[in-house]
Amino acid sequence: MSNSDRVVLALGGAGKVGSGIVKGLLDKGFKVAVISRDSSRLEKLRSFVSPNTKDNLTTIVGNVGSEEEAEQAKQALLKEVGKVTDIVSSLGFSWWQGGPPHTQSLKDLHWLLALHSWCVYVVFCCFATGGAGEKLLMPGTGFLTVGAASTLAFCHVLREEYPEVPCKLNQVKINTGVATPDHMAPGFLNHLDLGEAVAALIERRNTAHNVFTINCPADLKSVLLERNL
């Protein structure tokens, strides 16, 4: 199956990390579908991708945060594109710094777990995760770490539970910041470079059940692009 015959569902594709992945996939000739609750973010994404690839981008207003709404979004998507051959997830990991855990409510914890874990449950795919689940980023981010850790654990469970699953299941673990070209900082990844690297991983269909850890910009080339996948 050629890239042009493959339809990639990019969950979180309207976000900072996801938009880079969407552009990278479109530039490689994939058809890409993006679901978002915010129609304005979808319009911004359409204006961001390369003009000659816009016809290969399908956008759906919907929510994958609950089973019922995810099913509705799925049916709307299938009506538009007919099939989905690949899924990449860059959901969650919005910044949160609400304070120490003992000052937070159970409602706050439920919300962060829903953001980081429950959405991930709807897919088996190429996950883009981060290192926030293994360390406290700074004071006040405790619940962010709990939510991110649940995503890392979920990815690990899926790899172990389904070692022989026919579809690929890979994880790209990003242990540094990701920014757009106009907001770069030392050691950060350019979201366009990240998108190109993730698109290359998805293009290589013989790779499955691996974790690719990205600690710095140089890793994008050495870990994802040059590695014998």
Distance CA 105, CA 174 (A): 29
Instruction: Compute the radius of gyration of the chain from its Cα atoms.
Output: 17
More confident residue, 131 or 176: 176
Residue with tokens 């880079």: 20
List, for residues 166-197, the tens digit of each pLDDT value: 777 888 888 888 999 999 999 999 999 999 99
What's this model's pTM, rounded to 2 decimal places? Answer: 0.79
Tell me: pLDDT of 11 over 80: yes
Instruction: Check residue 228 and give its pLDDT.
Output: 42
Contact 179, 219 (CB under 8 A): no
Q: Which domains does the chain have, with CATH numbers?
A: 3-225 (3.40.50.720)
Residue with tokens 């799925």: 74
DSSP SS3 for 86: strand
In terms of Cα–Cα distance, which of 61, 43, 53, 67 is closest to 22?
53
DSSP SS3 for 199: helix
List, for residues 63-103, the tens digit of each pLDDT value: 876 778 888 988 999 999 999 998 888 876 667 788 888 88
The structure tokens listed for 213 are 């850890």
Distance CA 157, CA 209 (A): 11
